[in-house]
Amino acid sequence: MNETRKWILHRVSAIILAPLFVWFYFSLISLSVKNYQEAIYFFENPLFKILIVALFFIGFFHAKISLNEIFEDYIHNKKVKDVANILALILSIIIPVIILILLI
Amino acid sequence: MKDNQNPISPHLQIYRWHISSLLSITHRIAGVANLLALTLMFFWLLTFTLSESNYELFLLAINSFFGKFILMGFTWSMSFHIFSGIRHLAWDMGYGFEIKTANVSGILVILSSLVATIIFWLLGRGLI
């Protein structure tokens, strides 16, 4: 992925994530004082499922690009940096995929 | 880069903190905190899909003093990162670079993130 596209996708993902996060935090704070039945009602809603999966995929994509930036700034050993970047990539794929599997 | 003992520039320790630099590093730290928050949300969903007793155990943890502190902290880091992100987007479009504007927008980011966190919890817990 070239750097310009990375830069643009980083901003685009940020704009999508902002409302998703507002909605999800609000929902989780509400759910934290409700029981399991209420959680079923929330997590089994098809629209919410799609939104949650989207939040995780886009969220980890955004985080992956950000981590690349942070590693670029603070890790000076190229080998260590490469390994860190690969770990970030793996993490950004595995967790959203598990969420997808859990929710379907 | 070879690790030698020569002094490197900039010497972060001797600079006075400004709103701009404080918010810049806080934006990063809040971003990393949000990644941890996303991981917590992952466990939230995981315990939910495992079983009812697991989920109730998770709720017990999240409603403990420490759990609430963590969740409130994450609510703030998310609010802060969003407001600070909007400030960054404005810069990306070429607005708000004047020193006075940047200082005022910085203070606004801090204040709105605190207010947003309070509103989140009051609304989320059904208190207003």
Query: The domain that contains B72 carries what CATH number?
Result: 1.20.1300.10
Residue B112 domain-assigned? Answer: yes
d(CA A88, CA B107): 32
- pTM of the entire predicted model: 0.92
Peptide linkage before B10 cis (omega within 30 of 0): yes
Residues in chain A, pLDDT under 70: none
Report the C-alpha gap between B86 and B101 in whole angstroms: 14
Least CA distance to A94: which residue of chain B? B42
Q: Tens digits of per-residue pLDDT, A30-49?
A: 999 999 999 999 999 999 99
| pLDDT digits (tens), chain B, 128 positions | 566 777 666 676 777 888 999 999 999 999 999 999 999 999 999 999 999 999 999 999 999 999 999 999 999 999 999 999 999 999 999 999 999 999 999 999 999 999 999 999 999 998 87
Question: What is the CATH classification number for the domain harbouring A74?
Answer: 1.20.1300.10
ipTM of the complex: 0.94
A87 at interface of B, judged by CB pairs closer than 8 A: no
Residue B99 included in any domain: yes
Interface A-B, measured as beta-carbon pairs within 8 A, has a size of 80
Q: Residue B35: name the closest of A87, A67, A37, A38 by CA.
A: A67
Inside any domain, residue B44? yes
Q: Do the domain assignments include residue B8?
A: no
pLDDT of amino acid B2: 61
How many domains does the structure of chain B reveal?
1
Segments forming the whole domain that contains residue A96: 3-103
Q: Which domain holds residue B82?
A: 16-124
Q: What is the DSSP string of B9-67?
A: SS-GGGSPP-HHHHHHHHHHHHHHHHHHHHHHHHHHHHHHHH-HHHHHHHHHHHTSHHH
CA distance B75 to A67: 21
Yes or no, beta carbons of B45 and A70 under 8 Å apart: no
pLDDT for position A39: 95
Residue A1 pLDDT = 75
For residue A9, list chain B residues with Cβ-Cβ distance below 8 A. Answer: none
Q: What is the pLDDT of residue B46?
A: 95
With an 8 Å Cβ cutoff, is A53 touching chain B? no
From chain B, the residues in CB contact with A52 under 8 A are 45
**Contact flag A21-B78 (C-beta cutoff 8 Å):** yes
- When CB atoms are compared, the residue of A21, A28, A67 closest to B82 is A21
Q: Is A63 in contact with B45 (Cβ distance < 8 A)?
A: no
Number of structural domains chain A divides into: 1
Query: What is the model's pLDDT at position B1?
Result: 54
User: Cβ–Cβ of B45/A99 closer than 8 Å?
Assistant: yes
Q: How far apart are CA B8 and CA B42, in angstroms?
A: 41
Q: How far is CA B100 from CA A45, B22, B103, in A?
A: 47, 16, 5
